[in-house]
Structure 1
């Protein structure tokens, strides 16, 4: 018999001398027993196959029913249905989707998922390195691939997560130096004559993230009490309106966007999305931030100048209650804000630096003034003290002060 009434495995020989084995591994979606077939030339061969399948069943590793998907099909499914359950929309659109469509699918997408081997990932990572990607970016690819394959393993689409069978690409964080205090002052001096110049005073004095500074609204800025509440302003990611994002990237705007373009959907002729929206900051907690006294008159002057712009714009003014905006009230795009920062550095004679380095500088200046690191953590809005320590740097001034204190302790 090929089917055993009690659900146990069975082995038999047919009329042609071929041996068959049947193993019950579970229950199908319709409630019927899920029995798998194995065959071989001898009873010994089939018995071994039956025992192997029984062991996989008992360990919860029995292969799932149906044809195994390709890496391409699985990652697109994971991207659309699984990743959004734990990752933010911004992470999906700006990080995961470009990696899947621009690199993973062209690199390893045609492999059958259950036949993807560790050597395929190693070759893929080597190709990423040769293309000029940083070690940190390659490590990000590895972590994302491992996360996706972990879900495939849980669903028994693969018997093992092959990403765990290789060493993760190595990466050592580079030391990020904050701007010097004199550089920060030079930048603020240069910015004082600019439209929206207070934007850069906010960057250094409050240590806000870019989206937090551009998302400041007057209703949450209390100049009398010297305090503001933090939100973010971000643009919803663009989404392909075409039927095949992969083909769209590789044919319709590859030359325009480039192989590593994060916002490639922006170039899709049928794109959608891109709306502005206010969000809670990282950690999902809106935090109050005290405003340094010298910054208050700068914000008052900025508010008066903005009122004059609003009057001049008339009906063309788009009212979003933004502290920093375009001359017609519309939000400032992050790319334009970054460009203004680079121009400001050049005008101030300061070496090139990331916009986020202003946040590092704010943390370091607070420490130099003797502010407790836990207070710095609260101002910057970090969920853990360990994160705050990554944003702070022991400057020569702090090191000198520590040496002086040690000298006094030992020699008076």
Structure 2
């Protein structure tokens, strides 16, 4: 390994110019096609030769990092979300709301917690310390687990692309998320809810929620062409979601420095405090959030494929069929009254002008129904849990319930084990009857 070599072999030589030993190792090829030569130097020949041999071992084992300075954790997470994750959103393999959640967790926890570490210098101890801080702050165990999964997935991609040689997240025992505690309505409460909603506009919306166990987006995104009232079957093939707006203006400001024009490093909260505003304001008048951008894109209410088991069939209970038929007649009367203002979307539940119901508006209506019915406060999603609970209490097989609700695994059914006592008591009574009459 002595002397200068131009055939791709390693070389070690002494330079009288600086009085140092220099070693060069070819580890691969750069993106432009030129050889990727790595340099090692020192005052002692033995030390430099050892460094060269170590670099050769890394090269032969395929563990040399790419040329250039490795990014920080924050830089890599940003690149990963803006490229790999954004591509998956574009081709439909990732939900936009999932990417929104990634960005939120990164901004709130990963960037301030470990973002300044170089990605190749990140250690398992750094992750342990981050999770400990999050737990001490009183954050839910599910939030800590989701944060761990995000950094683990990002490092997996970094390893696949030779940015790091190992995924340190695999060296950390994942935080255990507490089992979600559900609070379904009792049968009496569910009937009280339906009684209150019966005379309201779109009152059948809550009958569908409790009878079919639909998610909010699946219910307000249900369309007539997917309802077969003659055969009593609903095709749950789509859901309505509100997506976050993105800037369409290249020079726009947004929440976070990376969306601001060059020269402005203020976040949205800081922006309002700047006396003279941004030094380089957007020429199109775009100020802070993407929703104000005149060329915004990608947001608003959109139809998307449901999560979990897609395109499932849900049987409609017979008593619900006449309710839906009556609802359809009422909707036709509204359509005639709206005239040219009607916007046809084929929605089962819509605004008086045919436009989709915003999830927030749907949430507010549910809260109003609860208050009027004298029921405790609850989430819209608790209707879905109520449907699962009532089916289990009625003796329906958990496997069948899983199919009706569209769960991806039986593990999701564990949350309904609180109704086991009802069935167990019935089983004990039957056993007593069998043994002692």
Regarding TM over 0.5, the answer is: yes
> What is the deviation of 1:3?
4.4
Residue by residue over 1:231-290, the C-alpha shift from the partner in whole angstroms, topping out at 9 and shown as x without a partner, is: 21223431134256413696325899xxxxxxx956554543324332332246322222
Q: 1:168 to 1:265 in 2, by over 3 A?
A: farther
Partner Cα distance (2:21, 2:434) in 1: 86
Q: 1:56 to 1:165 in 2, by over 3 A?
A: same
Q: Is the 8 A contact 2:179 2:415 kept in 1?
A: no
The alignment partner of 2:431 has SS state of: helix
Choose 124-133 or 302-311, whichever is displaced more: 124-133
Alignment-derived partner of residue 246 in structure 1 = 256
- Output aligned runs, 1:218-229, within 5 Å: 218-229=224-235
Partner Cα distance (2:175, 2:99) in 1: 24
Partner Cα distance (1:373, 1:165) in 2: 36
Q: 1:88 to 1:66 in 2, by over 3 A?
A: same
Q: 1:255 to 1:13 in 2, by over 3 A?
A: closer
Partner Cα distance (1:361, 1:284) in 2: 20
Q: 1:405 to 1:85 in 2, by over 3 A?
A: farther
> What is the deviation of 1:203?
0.6
Partner Cα distance (1:338, 1:54) in 2: 62
- Output aligned runs, 1:7-406, within 5 Å: 7-15=8-16, 17-86=19-88, 87-129=93-135, 131-230=137-236, 231-241=238-248, 242=252, 245-247=255-257, 251-252=267-268, 269=293, 271-283=296-308, 285-390=310-415, 393-406=418-431
* TM norm structure 1: 0.88
Q: 1:153 to 1:243 in 2, by over 3 A?
A: farther
* TM norm structure 2: 0.83
- How many residues get paired? 405
Q: 1:292 to 1:284 in 2, by over 3 A?
A: closer
C-alpha RMSD of the superposition = 2.8
> What is the deviation of 1:38?
0.8
Q: 1:228 to 1:106 in 2, by over 3 A?
A: same
Q: 1:367 to 1:168 in 2, by over 3 A?
A: closer
> What is the deviation of 1:395?
4.2
Partner Cα distance (2:435, 2:50) in 1: 76
The alignment partner of 2:100 has SS state of: helix
Unaligned runs of 5+ in 1: 257-263
> What is the deviation of 1:114?
2.6
The alignment partner of 1:276 has SS state of: strand
Residue by residue over 1:41-72, the C-alpha shift from the partner in whole angstroms, topping out at 9 and shown as x without a partner, is: 21221122122212222222101101222323
> What is the deviation of 1:189?
1.1
Q: 1:235 to 1:5 in 2, by over 3 A?
A: same
Partner Cα distance (2:271, 2:199) in 1: 39
Choose 235-244 or 181-190, whichever is displaced more: 235-244
> What is the deviation of 1:369?
2.0
Q: Is the 8 A contact 1:177 1:393 kept in 2?
A: no
> What is the deviation of 1:118?
3.6
